[in-house]
Structure 1
Amino acid sequence: MILRHVTIDCAEPYELARFWSEVTGWPVSGEDSPGDPEVLVEAPAPVPGLLFIRVPEGKAVKNRLDLDWMPDERTRDEEVARVVALGATVHEDHRRADGLGWVTLLDPEGNEFCIERSAGERRAT
């Protein structure tokens, strides 16, 4: 069995897909356009893509699943600053004085995700 997509319910699939495309560097599918009810952000194989699907109800409670990201080109703190500049907001800051920890953020529609330390930061501690 292969995990093909991670599906995220949202109000505005194309707009949220564009945000996540900027965050990940992965392209929005060329088959998708503004107003579509489903929009795919295509990940490099074998990573599953992110599929955004329009639903009528808004987000009401904490996600039961969130994505944890580890930066590969920046430090955790640089990545947090970059995604905040793209439109995310810091939800919970779990960084510790010794450099350990992570940051929980919200995407533009309020979905939680985390940014952890990079592999280089992990090797250094």
Structure 2
Amino acid sequence: MILRHVTIDCAEPYELGTFWSQVTGWPLSDEDEPGDPEVLLVAPSPVPGLLFIRVPEGKTVKNRIHFDWMPTDRTRDEEVERIISLGAKLHEDHRKADGRGWVTLRDPEGNEFCVERGEAERAS
């Protein structure tokens, strides 16, 4: 069995997909347009794509599942600042004085996700 997509319920699929495209660098499907009820963010193989689907109800409680992202070409702190500049909000800061820890952010629709230290930071 192969995990094909991770599906995210949202109010505005194209707008949220565009935010995540800017965060990840992954493109939206060529078939998707503003106003579409579902939008696919195409991930590099073998990573599953992110499928954003419009639902009528808004987010009301903490996510039961979330993404933990690890930057590949920036530090954790640089990545946090970049993602905030794209429209995310700081939710919880779990950084420690010794450099370990993570930061929990919320995307424009309030979904929580974490940014951890990158491999270079972990090695030092």
TM-score (ref. length: structure 2): 0.99
Q: What residue in structure 2 maps to residue 113 of structure 1?
A: 113
Match in the other structure for 1:10 = 10
User: Secondary structure of 1:113's partner?
Assistant: strand
Q: Does 1:41 align with 2:14?
A: no
- The aligned residue for residue 81 of structure 1 is 81
Q: Answer yes or no: is 1:25 the counterpart of 2:31.
A: no
**Cα RMSD over matched residues?**
0.3
* 1:29-59 Cα distance to aligned partner (Å, 9 max, x none): 0000001000000000000000000000000
SS at match of 1:91: strand
Equivalent in the alignment of 1:66:
66
3-state DSSP of counterpart to 2:80: helix
Q: Percent identity?
A: 76
Residues of 1 paired with 2:87 and 2:119: CA distance?
25
Task: Find the aligned partners of 1:5 and 1:94 in 2 and give their Cα distance.
Answer: 29
TM-score, normalized by length of structure 1? 0.99
Equivalent residue pairs, number:
124
What amino acid is aligned across from residue 9 of structure 2 in structure 1?
A: D
Distance 1:2 1:119 in 2: 26
In the aligned structure 1, how far is the partner of 2:34 from the partner of 2:116? 31
Report the residue type matching 2:72 in the other structure: D
Partners in 2 of 1:2 and 1:79 — Cα distance? Answer: 29
Structure 1 outlier segments of 4+, above 4 Å: none
